């Protein structure tokens, strides 16, 4: 699922008002964190995550791993804050414009 520029623009606008739901600590991306992220994505579709990694390259790798394991799309990454999106297969909450 790849998002168009129009869709990303809409999702970024919605990200501004969100608070971080998931906070990654020193243990990194554990099964528990992935389970919580899965629940949050199913319920909200658009989730903000706080990362505790200082190194920029490691942060990029972690973002790629988060997106891959949660089957979500990166919407925005600013500093240590990441926003990801995954459509709810049962009932879409966020109405995205057509590509």
Which tens digit of pLDDT belongs to each residue from 55-89? 999 999 999 999 999 999 999 999 999 999 999 88
Residue 99 counted as domain residue: no
8 A C-beta contact, residue 69 and residue 33: no
Q: Report the 10 Å Cβ neighbour count for 48.
A: 21
* pLDDT of 41: 95
- Per-residue pLDDT at 15 exceeds 90: yes
Residue 77 counted as domain residue: yes
Looking at residue 43, which CATH number applies to its domain?
A: 3.30.110.60
* pLDDT of 89: 83
Q: How many domains does the chain have?
A: 1
- Domain of residue 48, residue span: 5-85
């Amino acid at each position: 699922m790849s998002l168009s520029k129009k869709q990303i623009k809409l999702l970024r606008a919605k990200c501004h008002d969100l608070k971080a739901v998931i906070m990654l600590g020193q243990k990194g991306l554990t099964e528990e964190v992935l389970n919580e992220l899965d629940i949050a994505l199913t319920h909200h579709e658009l989730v903000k995550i706080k990362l505790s990694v200082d190194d920029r390259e490691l942060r990029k790798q972690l973002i790629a791993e988060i997106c891959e394991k949660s089957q979500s799309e990166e919407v925005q990454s600013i500093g240590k804050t990441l926003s990801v999106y995954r459509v709810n297969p049962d009932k879409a909450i966020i109405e995205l414009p057509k590509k």
